[in-house]
Amino acid sequence: MRRKASQNLFALVALFLLLASCGPSPQAGGGIGGTGNTATVVSGPITGFGSVFVSGYEYGTGTTAMTIDGSSGSQNDLKKGMVVLVNATVTHNYGTSEPPQRTANTLLYEDTVEGIVQSVAPDGSSLVVLGQTVAITTTTIIDLGVSTLSNLKKDDLVEVSGFVSGPGAVVATLIDRKIDSADYQVKGFITEHDEVNKFFTIGSLRVDYAGADIGLMPIPAGDAWNGLLVDVRGGQVSSGGSGQYSVRMTATKVKPEGLGTEDSALAEIRGFVTQVVSLSDFYLGNVHVQTSAGTTFEGGTRNDILVGAYLEVHGPLVGGIVNATKVEFEGETELQANVATINSSGNTVTLAGLAGLVIQFDSKTALHGQGNPRVLTDLRSGDHLQIQGQLRGGNTILAKEVERSDPKSNVQLQGLVTSAANPIVVLLGASIDTSLIPESGFRGRYGVIGRSAFFSGLSSGKKVVLRGTYQANTVTWSSALRGD
């Protein structure tokens, strides 16, 4: 089936976050007081160590076989921000409140892009590598080998890990400088496939594959490859190709990208939508998902599957594609603050003290409260809003319900963390400095836990609530609550 990717991801979802688990074997010994094992596969960025945290879940690595860019490796080779593929076993203790125990059997890491820097944006928001535009977000980790983007220059050799967000577009989770010889690699969507002359393009990169290993690819009939998400390795790069940053690579191997092609009776994936091909065809991170007439939706509809939405999808894995039987919308957010600006033509507002965060209104937004407002133009700067909505990108909230009241100084944010490193929490596209919150202000579900416990294991996908007051054009944060 021909698949054409659409809708670039303009800002990361700040997090770029993906968890997938599938169960090809039945549970053993399930039931009251029993245990059961489920085979799983996880694809997402590394968010912490101890063992290895992937998308916020911890996986034991005592017996894990690790492969790093095609060679045998160890945990010492891993870094935060690397997008890895983990095959694991999850052990459930039924009839108890104990969380599942997750053990990684194998771990695979491959660069998303490795090659020569062609340009760096003056504002540090992106760079171009191998004809791919690499977006930099608030959650992108810049490794010590780079220090800052300002240290990168044309012709530097870099390794980029992240998510493909459109044709020729990547959202970086990690950028690292490489000092050894280049092992050219790029993941992306195929366009302009020429079966006769054995080449295709990915962004501004022309890939010649006449002598490449394509054994894992479908039969290259006509334009059947167009729209496929693939991983390409190359041994030679030269000028050529099309577009402003044209470059040409001779491929040594081309293979499909995703969870793999081994079918599974059950899969469960969680993450942010990075591509929407159609209403029934989309990507969570680099994982391909399709829905059907029989798919059920909870917390939203098929029309709500937009770039930046945070979902949990259930269904079998067939031919590398998750066939969704159920889609749950999980990126529910709540926030309170005063209106800073109103853009009636764009149907958006911004909030005082939360620079960069955009609240998007649409025809389904329910607006009520003091003065009986009904449309966006009924609002005024300074109005206090209580907002319920869903994340629609790195810094945009689609408002579902909005209540207006008199101006107040209190500010509250509730949502999913995209990254955290004491004292900074990145939430809803905003970087929150918690330095002034006292120890007693850090709380868990059952009371005060202190700063250290609050940040321990806090990573992408965890729910937190931050409260503060707005005075003198700034927010003073007073408390932080973990929801797990």
Q: Please tell me the pTM assigned to this model.
A: 0.67
pLDDT value of position 261: 53
Q: 338 - beta bridge partners?
A: 384
pLDDT value of position 134: 92
CA distance 160 to 158: 6
**pLDDT digits 0-9 by tens, 59-71:** 999 999 999 988 9
Beta strands 169-177 and 185-189, pairing class: unpaired
- Buried/exposed 109-144: b ≥16 CB within 10 Å, e otherwise: bbbbbbbbbbebeeeeebbbbbbbbbbbbbbbbbbe
- Phi and psi at residue 190, in whole multiples of 5°? -75, 135
What is the SS3 string spanning 335-374? Answer: EEEEEEEEECCCCEEEECCCCCCEEECCCCCEEEECCCCC
- Neighbouring C-beta atoms of residue 248, cutoff 10 Å: 20
The pLDDT confidence band at residue 20, using thresholds 50, 70 and 90, is: very low
Contact 169, 203 (CB under 8 A): yes
pLDDT value of position 16: 35
CA distance 388 to 401: 5
CA distance 150 to 339: 35
Mean pLDDT along residues 446-462: 84
Q: What percent of the chain has pLDDT over 70?
A: 85
pLDDT value of position 43: 77
Mean pLDDT along residues 206-218: 92
pLDDT value of position 141: 85
> Picking from 277-281, 302-306, 325-329, 364-368, which range would have the lowest pLDDT averaged per residue?
302-306
The pLDDT confidence band at residue 218, using thresholds 50, 70 and 90, is: confident
> Picking from 33-42, 308-317, 378-387, 400-409, which range would have the lowest pLDDT averaged per residue?
33-42
Most confident stretch, 82-86, 206-210, 244-248, 387-391: 206-210
pLDDT value of position 34: 53
Name the 3-class secondary structure at 114. Answer: strand
**pLDDT digits 0-9 by tens, 392-412:** 765 788 898 999 999 999 999
H/E stretch holding 452: helix 450-455
- Neighbouring C-beta atoms of residue 188, cutoff 10 Å: 30
* pLDDT of 348 strictly over 90: yes
Mean pLDDT along residues 287-315: 85
Hunting for tokens 């709500």 — which residue is that? Answer: 304
pLDDT value of position 55: 67
pLDDT value of position 265: 66
pLDDT value of position 438: 95
Name the 3-class secondary structure at 239. Answer: coil
CA distance 164 to 286: 7
Q: 256 - beta bridge partners?
A: 230
> Picking from 144-153, 155-164, 173-182, 311-320, which range would have the lowest pLDDT averaged per residue?
144-153
Question: Residues with Cβ < 8 Å from 294, sequence gap 6 or more?
Answer: 325
pLDDT value of position 8: 38
Bigger pLDDT: 213 vs 137: 213
pLDDT value of position 199: 93
Q: 425 - beta bridge partners?
A: 420, 432
The pLDDT confidence band at residue 24, using thresholds 50, 70 and 90, is: very low
Q: What are the strands of the beta sheet with 57-59, ordered from one edge? A: 57-59, 52-54, 35-49, 83-93, 101-109, 65-68, 71-73
| Domains present along the chain, CATH in parentheses | 18-109 (no CATH), 264-329 (2.40.50.140), 332-406 (2.40.50.140), 411-482 (2.40.50)
The pLDDT confidence band at residue 318, using thresholds 50, 70 and 90, is: confident
What is the SS3 string spanning 396-433? Answer: EEEEEEEEEECCCCEEEEEEEEEEEECCEEEECCEEEE
CA distance 309 to 398: 10
Bigger pLDDT: 261 vs 457: 457
- Neighbouring C-beta atoms of residue 380, cutoff 10 Å: 12
CA distance 163 to 320: 17
Most confident stretch, 61-65, 92-96, 306-310: 61-65
Question: Residues with Cβ < 8 Å from 368, sequence gap 6 or more?
Answer: 374, 402, 403, 404
